[in-house]
A and B are shown apart, each in its own frame.
Chain A
Amino acid sequence: MESSLKRKPTQSSPEAESPPPHKKQQNETEAETNGSTSGHGPVACLHDVSYPEGYVPPPQSSAKNDSTPAKEFPFTLDPFQREAIQCLDNGESVMVSAHTSAGKTVVALYAIAMSLKNQQRVIYTAPIKALSNQKYREFKEEFSDVGLMTGDVTIDPNASCLVMTTEIWRSMQYKGSEVTREVAWIIFDEVHYMRDVERGVVWEESIVMAPKNSRFVFLSATVPNAKEFADWVAKVHQQPCHIVYTDYRPTPLQHYVFPSGGDGLYLVVDEKAKFREDSFQKSLNALVPKSESDKKKENGKWQKGLVMGKLGEESDIFKMVKMIVRRQYDPVILFCFSKRECEFLAMQMAKMDLNVDDEKTNIETIFWSAMDMLSDDDKKLPQASWFLLQYVNVFSYVGIRHGNPGFKYVTPFKAWNWSASLWVTAHSERSDRDLVSRSCIEYIISAQCLFATETFSIGLNMPAKTVVFTNVRKFDGDKFRWISSGEYIQMSGRAGRRGIDARGICILMMDEKLEPSTAKSMLKGSADSLNSAFHLTYNMLLNQIRCEDADPENLLRNSFFQFQADRAIPDLEKQAKALEEERNSLVIEEEENLKNYYDLIQQYKSLKKDVREIVLSPKYCLPFLQSGRLVCIECTESDEKSPSFSIDDKVTWGVIINFERVKNVSEDDASKKPKDANYTVDVLTRCLVSKDGVAKKKIKIVPLKEQGEPLVVSVPISQIHSLSSVRSFMEKDLLPLAVREKTLKEVSEFLSREPGGLPLDPEEDMKIQSSSYKKAVRRIEALEHLFKKYEIAKSPLIEQKLKVLHMKQELTAKIKSIRKAMRSSSSLAFKDELKARKRVLRRLGYVTSDDVVELKGKVACEISSADELTLTELMFNGVLKDIKVEEMVSLLSCFVWQEKLQDAAKPREELDLLFMQLQDTARRVAKLQLECKVQIDVEKFVSSFRPDIMEAVYAWARGSKFYEIMEITQVFEGSLIRAIRRLEEVLQQLIQAAKSIGETEMEAKFEEAVSKIKRDIVFAASLYL
């Protein structure tokens, strides 16, 4: 495979060329960090190269070396930057993996400068719009020839340097935009986003489909498997790909713990990355455990103790911010893990005044300039402007950021939201105003504290001095879990402004006891590795099928997912080899013979089991499960791993006390007939009770003659071996030990008289007539005959021999399963799913049997922001045709709304009717997929369309004011704005789709819909524009 030809710590090479600058650089960093108490670790980076298989390096052109660099930077570059830039100068792809704020942008800037110099196009893609917008502004300042393309805006698409979201880049590639023929360098920022479950696949598609001769710059957070990623790129694009990896942080971090209820910070990890156990222990001791009642309430919810505090006392968060301000640790970003928590915590801060007087005036001016921008209607916002002003003034900018694409600051009170949006508006359109200068937002933020959700940690250039984690657990959809070390690294990366702060500060607010090891792995653990989150979508398939060159299978073959799966093969091979060796080391004499015997036993056992299953099926045995009947049950196996091999099972006897049906929670009781239900039988028998540490008592059923207590245990029917025809007289009260002892004694006495226990005859007593029973019985008899022929069975060591053979058999099975896994990973991943999905497309008439995309397919091709199949079906069924524009918009909102609202009101009847039509269509689509063997949960799929915001969107489309629609629903402003924006995206795609099928009326309708929703505050330009 790829060979890594050189691996060296960079220090060796720069030192050889120019040791002084390196030294100097380090000194400078030192000076920059304002005499941080201790020097930091070496500013080293790892440089590695992945070459594609059979790669022949082109002859070195010496002319290149003396050309001037495309861009000079006013500061000395860090080694990793220098390394990366050298790769760029050589015209080779590079992956830069470093912490946020380490200065990866420098590499991007250089790549852009270089491309511009060579009259090549360069594309910069980022995962979120806000980041694209910010970068666009940054680059625009630096180089004038810059354009921006996001779902919202397109500015100067002919520029040489294009900033866009990765989705846009992907669709440009599918459409064969001319940019694809001119782009020399493609910069993927935050490429570790590829592991995102939902959107990660877009990166893989974009990278696989990228033009053959283009070069890449990948900027990523620190990932341990950067090499693997580079190998993949090298293989897919047949070009060398460099890896520059560094752990270096320009400003070292100090990690503190703030125990809840306590009143101080404890330094846990110092800037030399040393974990201080003692200090951590102290912090644990300072932790005031929450009262029991509190604990009950917050079960599954966010921590109340954190916000409420004790009566008359300040809440932790308040104390925390106060302390931060007092110690001049601000600006600070406080990360919360839910929007609600974010809002709630920010409200706690309302009483605090963080501003100096002149800042207040500034903010006032900003505010009024923002107000001027607003339409008269929007000025009539709830709580009016007075309220707004108050709050803007009081705590300047305790912004809370939700994960909405517009990057709006959403604030605790509704008014706050407005202030933010207003501010944004002012900022975007009146950039000539003195105060509303570009750096203003940074200025404001830099002076204050900011509550943010996790989304904020991605790439945006807004570092603070301090980062606070308000919680150590986050909810990940299923459960509350510890923050992973990768997440911690990403978020803590926001701390410490380069060149301003000596060190960044991370504060972990801890409200429960944490094992030091857990804390250690969280604070000092390694970054998450970059794993593929590849999955198939119909839109992707259709686009691939549509292109003459492309082929979905090809995409799968080249995906990172497949690459990682292929990598696993050698490991599996090794495992299989080891197991095989182990198997071969087991030598058994007369193996052939023994094997036959073994098989025979297995067969015999399974037959016996069959018979028992018939006899003891509830249908037959229930009438005989009376109390007092003697019953033969299997003993509990002493050890799971060594099953016995004798023909006779290890059995014991007991007395039936009672039986009862097992209630199965998941099943619908009414639908189950009593005959099919599961039963357990309470049996009095001798048991061995052993206590296993703290855990539950373990009860083992043992033969009567062995030692043990007489106990009543409940056993499943399957454990019953046979029923006796004898019933013993039962004492009424079984509680006294003596009574039980006596009963069992009677049983053993009876058994000594009748060793067989007089079992019930299945045919005569139990009236079992089934033919399968008779057949099985006959076969058992035949087998019993056969046993006698085996000499080997008489050998004294037969037991051990069989055990060895059994082990060998198990090893063989294991090897088989590993080989199977190998085969499946060497064959194409997703192959079956691909087949199934293609079947769906054919069944629905999207493609023909020879993979030609049909009309419906062309429509679905255009839709990438909503469920393409359901929406296309809806369209072709004419549902969208007859309804009013507002209703249509409202219906489409179900496609973009994903949050679950608990107590959302049902929409009015007309809308509900439409929604039901949508559900019908969705169900049909889902069922068809299921029939075509696509793994899908029909009901889950249907319920993924949520009607929660139908009313609100309906009102919005009818021209209501935003504050009015906010009164209709309880959703977050940010979420609603996000949904409406996404709705507009879907409508744009539908316009394209309608165009392609020649439906001019529909096209006009969609256009009208866009014009109806695209107005006012929802589409106010976002913060960075």
Chain B
Amino acid sequence: MRDIQLPLNQTQKVRLQRALQQLESLYGNVHSGNSVTVADTIPVNYDDGVLRGHGTMDRDGQVVATLCGVVERVNKLVYVRTLRARYKPEVGDIIVGRVVEVAPKRWKLEINCNQDAQLMLSSMNLPDGIQRRRTAVDELNMRSIFVENDVVCAEVRNCPNEGGVQLQARSQKYGKLEKGQLLTVPPYLVKRQKQHFHHLEQDGVDLILGCNGFIWVGEHVEARDSMIVDQVNNAPGETSLETRQKICQIANAIRVLSTLGFNLNLEVILETVNLSTKLNLPINEMLGSEFHVLVAEREAERRSSKNTKRKG
């Protein structure tokens, strides 16, 4: 219930509460003993030797948490994983960001991190796909690739200790995102997965779950084939009404899930979308309280059935 702020009537409140309790009972005691706040002592077995990782420090011979979060242990390594913090980049993460500045040889991107990320001109594929060194002319033409406020998808290349996250666009599927919506959710809701790019074929929609909590829902673009330099293709075509509606529907589903604080992955999002389709709910009503409650109940049901299945 914590901080879900919805105008609920009495029955809805009870139903939501029940659903959330059910969820809690499923997973409740997994982490309860492991969560720490700043300055909590982390119990460890000193005889075996301990490796202290992120978010811990040594104080008077005890391992003390320096962050709020959950204690994670890998063999003898102990570290604290934060729950609600800004996005902490890791090499290889797929992120979505917004260009805030065009600087010499680089773009600066807002990625929900404590610092802006840098996308070097040389880390971008040239629009014509030719492999060559970047020239001064390329630098002058940087605005033809991205300008301020463009939404860009990229991969974290490295994150040096001193800050300044370096991004890169490994292939043609990275780059500017157009014709769609950018949603921001708390980054902890997006778990790292094998796939962050999703193409929902029957809807003609691309879904990119950025690890930094920026989520892109937009019209599907065929991965631009670099071999064909075709200006005509780049001319903006109209996005059809259905696609727009679909985009909104998916976006709203994500909004609902994020309000409820559920982890976002393709399966859950699609299920929520299907639920709304089945109920024949107008897109704008998806953000109403009733749908929230329904989604919560549905999710509780799904997880508990999954749980029993696993146990059985």
A interface list, Cβ under 8 A from B: 118-121, 160, 175-176, 178, 181-184, 211-214, 545-549, 845, 850-856, 858, 873, 875-878, 881-882, 995-999, 1001-1002
| Pair A877/B135 contact, Cβ less than 8 Å | no
Bound: A182/B124 CA distance, A = 10
| Pair A181/B51 contact, Cβ less than 8 Å | no
| Pair A850/B194 contact, Cβ less than 8 Å | yes
Question: A845 contacts which chain B residues (CB < 8 A)?
Answer: 74
Question: B49 contacts which chain A residues (CB < 8 A)?
Answer: 877-878, 881-882
Bound: A966/B225 CA distance, A = 60
Question: B123 contacts which chain A residues (CB < 8 A)?
Answer: 176, 178, 181
Question: B124 contacts which chain A residues (CB < 8 A)?
Answer: 181
Question: A547 contacts which chain B residues (CB < 8 A)?
Answer: 92, 170
Question: A549 contacts which chain B residues (CB < 8 A)?
Answer: 170-171
Among the interface residues B50, B122, B130, B133, which one has the most CB atoms of the partner chain A within 10 A?
B133
Bound: A75/B233 CA distance, A = 49
17 sampled A-B residue pairs with Cβ under 8 A:
A119-B133, A119-B135, A120-B133, A178-B120, A181-B123, A182-B131, A182-B132, A546-B92, A548-B197, A853-B92, A856-B74, A856-B75, A876-B75, A877-B75, A878-B50, A878-B51, A999-B77
A14 to chain B, nearest CB (A): 31
Question: B192 contacts which chain A residues (CB < 8 A)?
Answer: 852
Closest to A547 in B: B92
| Pair B193/A181 contact, Cβ less than 8 Å | no
Question: How many cross-chain pairs have Cβ atoms below 8 Å apart between A and B?
Answer: 111
Given A873-B75, A877-B75, 6 more A-B residue pairs with CB atoms under 8 Å apart are A120-B132, A181-B123, A181-B125, A856-B75, A878-B48, A999-B51
Closest to B191 in A: A852
| Pair A181/B75 contact, Cβ less than 8 Å | no
A49 to chain B, nearest CB (A): 19
Bound: A549/B120 CA distance, A = 20
A70 to chain B, nearest CB (A): 14
Task: Annotate B269-312 by CB proximity to A: 1 below 8 A, 0 otherwise.
Answer: 00000000000000000000000000000000000000000000
Tell me, yes or no, whether B188 is within 8 Å of chain A by CB. Answer: no
Closest to A116 in B: B133
Closest to A238 in B: B227
B interface, by DSSP: helix, strand, loop or mixed?
loop
Scan residues 143-172 of chain B and give those whose CB is less than 8 A from a CB of chain A.
155, 157-158, 161, 168, 170-171
Tell me, yes or no, whether B91 is within 8 Å of chain A by CB. Answer: yes
Question: A118 contacts which chain B residues (CB < 8 A)?
Answer: 132
Bound: A999/B53 CA distance, A = 5
Given contacts A212-B226, A548-B170, A878-B50, contact A852 B131 (CB under 8 A): no
| Pair B131/A214 contact, Cβ less than 8 Å | yes
B73 to chain A, nearest CB (A): 10
Tell me, yes or no, whether B196 is within 8 Å of chain A by CB. Answer: yes
| Pair A160/B133 contact, Cβ less than 8 Å | yes
B104 to chain A, nearest CB (A): 15
B23 to chain A, nearest CB (A): 21
| Pair A182/B133 contact, Cβ less than 8 Å | yes
| Pair A996/B196 contact, Cβ less than 8 Å | no
Given contacts A182-B133, A184-B132, contact A548 B51 (CB under 8 A): no
Closest to B93 in A: A548
Bound: A878/B75 CA distance, A = 9
Query: Which 5 residue pairs are nearest across A and B when measured between Cβ atoms?
Result: A876-B75, A878-B49, A998-B54, A878-B76, A178-B122
| Pair A119/B132 contact, Cβ less than 8 Å | yes
Given contacts A176-B170, A178-B123, A548-B196, contact A1002 B74 (CB under 8 A): no
Closest to B159 in A: A996
Question: B253 contacts which chain A residues (CB < 8 A)?
Answer: none
| Pair B194/A851 contact, Cβ less than 8 Å | yes
Bound: A213/B227 CA distance, A = 8
Question: A881 contacts which chain B residues (CB < 8 A)?
Answer: 49, 51, 76
Question: B197 contacts which chain A residues (CB < 8 A)?
Answer: 548
B49 to chain A, nearest CB (A): 4
| Pair B158/A175 contact, Cβ less than 8 Å | yes
Bound: A333/B188 CA distance, A = 65
| Pair B130/A213 contact, Cβ less than 8 Å | yes
B interface list, Cβ under 8 A from A: 48-54, 74-77, 79, 90-92, 94, 120, 122-126, 129-135, 155, 157-158, 161, 168, 170-171, 191-197, 226-227
| Pair A850/B193 contact, Cβ less than 8 Å | yes
Question: A160 contacts which chain B residues (CB < 8 A)?
Answer: 133
Among the interface residues A121, A182, A875, which one has the most CB atoms of the partner chain B within 10 A?
A182
B33 to chain A, nearest CB (A): 20
Closest to B122 in A: A178
Bound: A747/B124 CA distance, A = 95
A238 to chain B, nearest CB (A): 9
A227 to chain B, nearest CB (A): 25
Given contacts A182-B122, A876-B75, contact A852 B193 (CB under 8 A): yes
Question: A178 contacts which chain B residues (CB < 8 A)?
Answer: 120, 122-123, 168
Given contacts A120-B133, A178-B122, A881-B49, contact A876 B226 (CB under 8 A): no
A88 to chain B, nearest CB (A): 15
Closest to A546 in B: B92
**The residue from B52, B91, B195 contacting A996, defined by CB atoms under 8 A apart:** B91
Question: B155 contacts which chain A residues (CB < 8 A)?
Answer: 176, 548
Question: A852 contacts which chain B residues (CB < 8 A)?
Answer: 191-194
B141 to chain A, nearest CB (A): 15
Closest to A178 in B: B122
| Pair A876/B77 contact, Cβ less than 8 Å | yes
Bound: A882/B227 CA distance, A = 55
Bound: A845/B73 CA distance, A = 11
| Pair A855/B77 contact, Cβ less than 8 Å | yes
Among the interface residues B74, B94, B124, B197, which one has the most CB atoms of the partner chain A within 10 A?
B74
Bound: A1002/B193 CA distance, A = 29
Bound: A854/B192 CA distance, A = 10
Bound: A547/B129 CA distance, A = 21
| Pair A998/B50 contact, Cβ less than 8 Å | no
Question: A184 contacts which chain B residues (CB < 8 A)?
Answer: 130-132
Given contacts A181-B125, A213-B130, A876-B75, contact A999 B168 (CB under 8 A): no
| Pair A548/B226 contact, Cβ less than 8 Å | no
A554 to chain B, nearest CB (A): 13
B173 to chain A, nearest CB (A): 8
Closest to B161 in A: A995
Question: B134 contacts which chain A residues (CB < 8 A)?
Answer: 182
| Pair B131/A213 contact, Cβ less than 8 Å | yes
Question: B48 contacts which chain A residues (CB < 8 A)?
Answer: 878
Question: A850 contacts which chain B residues (CB < 8 A)?
Answer: 193-194
Given contacts A178-B120, A181-B125, A213-B226, contact A1002 B51 (CB under 8 A): yes
Question: A996 contacts which chain B residues (CB < 8 A)?
Answer: 91
A552 to chain B, nearest CB (A): 12
Question: B195 contacts which chain A residues (CB < 8 A)?
Answer: 548
Question: B77 contacts which chain A residues (CB < 8 A)?
Answer: 855, 876, 997, 999
Among the interface residues B131, B133, B158, which one has the most CB atoms of the partner chain A within 10 A?
B131
Among the interface residues B51, B53, B157, B197, which one has the most CB atoms of the partner chain A within 10 A?
B51
Closest to B197 in A: A548
| Pair A548/B94 contact, Cβ less than 8 Å | yes
Closest to B56 in A: A998
Bound: A36/B130 CA distance, A = 49
Question: A878 contacts which chain B residues (CB < 8 A)?
Answer: 48-51, 75-76
Bound: A545/B125 CA distance, A = 22
| Pair B168/A176 contact, Cβ less than 8 Å | yes
| Pair B50/A121 contact, Cβ less than 8 Å | no
Question: B91 contacts which chain A residues (CB < 8 A)?
Answer: 858, 996
Closest to A998 in B: B54
Among the interface residues B77, B124, B135, B196, which one has the most CB atoms of the partner chain A within 10 A?
B77
B58 to chain A, nearest CB (A): 9
B70 to chain A, nearest CB (A): 14
Bound: A175/B155 CA distance, A = 11
A997 to chain B, nearest CB (A): 6
Question: B191 contacts which chain A residues (CB < 8 A)?
Answer: 852
| Pair A548/B131 contact, Cβ less than 8 Å | no
Given contacts A547-B92, A876-B77, contact A183 B53 (CB under 8 A): no
